[in-house]
Amino acid sequence: MPLISIVEVTCQAAEKQGLKRVGLFGTRFTMQGRFYSDALGKAGITTVLPAPDEQTYIHGKYMGELVNGIFLPDTREGLLSIVRRLMLEERIDGLILGGTELPLIMRNTEDQEIPFWIRPGSMLSLRSQGYCEHRPHNDWVHRTDGKVRPPPDDPGVTI
């Protein structure tokens, strides 16, 4: 199975939707790192970050609450207020939820007029599923030593 980049899959999803300016939520490392902005920039998509104080809020809530399974209505409203500001002032047309727990707190927000949520984990899951459906596990050759290897036409390595 080829390596699949969650960043590239997210970029492709944004391109497919015709997005031009996307916000990015995640940990401080995700928001301040260049991996999303570099990949999106190559596709002509601008990455818009929350203001520094908003990044501190998002990171604090993410690490202090969300990763611990705490999903508070006030936190959800705080995140939505940042999204609304990004929509009004920065003119984002989509938002990358760049962390596993973010889609959990942002679910059922379709009534909030958010233009488009991008859930990288879901994009990666769909891409992986598509690959697995294209190359079912049954095609793999079981060896007598109990190991499995790709079929002869697959350049993959023996596992």
58 in a structural domain: yes
Task: Tell me what pLDDT residue 113 has.
Answer: 65
Q: Which residues contact 57 (CB under 8 A, 6 or more apart)?
A: 78, 82
Task: Tell me what pLDDT residue 155 has.
Answer: 40
pLDDT digit string (tens) for 78-121?
999 999 999 999 999 888 888 888 888 887 765 566 656 666 55
Residue 148 has pLDDT above 60, yes or no: no
What does the alpha-carbon distance between residue 15 and residue 43 come to, in Å, rounded to a whole number? 7
117 in a structural domain: yes
Q: Write phi, then psi, for 59 (nearest 5 degrees).
A: -60, -45
Q: What does pTM read for this prediction? A: 0.72
Give percent of the chain with pLDDT exceeding 90.
Answer: 45
Query: Which residues pair with residue 95 across a beta bridge?
Result: 23, 117
Please tell me whether residue 22 adopts helix, strand or coil conformation.
strand
Confidence label for 47 from pLDDT (cuts 50, 70 and 90): very high
CATH number of the domain encompassing residue 80? 3.40.50.1860
The number of distinct structural domains making up the chain is 1
What does the alpha-carbon distance between residue 120 and residue 10 come to, in Å, rounded to a whole number? 5
Would you say how long the chain is, in residues? 159
pLDDT digit string (tens) for 4-43?
677 888 888 888 888 999 999 999 999 999 999 999 999 9
Query: Which residues pair with residue 107 across a beta bridge?
Result: none
More confident residue, 104 or 71: 71
134 in a structural domain: yes
Q: Which domain holds residue 69?
A: 6-149
Residue among 42, 48, 50 nearest 15 (CA) = 42
Q: Write phi, then psi, for 155 (nearest 5 degrees).
A: -75, 10
Q: Are 6 and 120 in contact (CB under 8 A)?
A: yes
Residue 159 has pLDDT above 50, yes or no: no
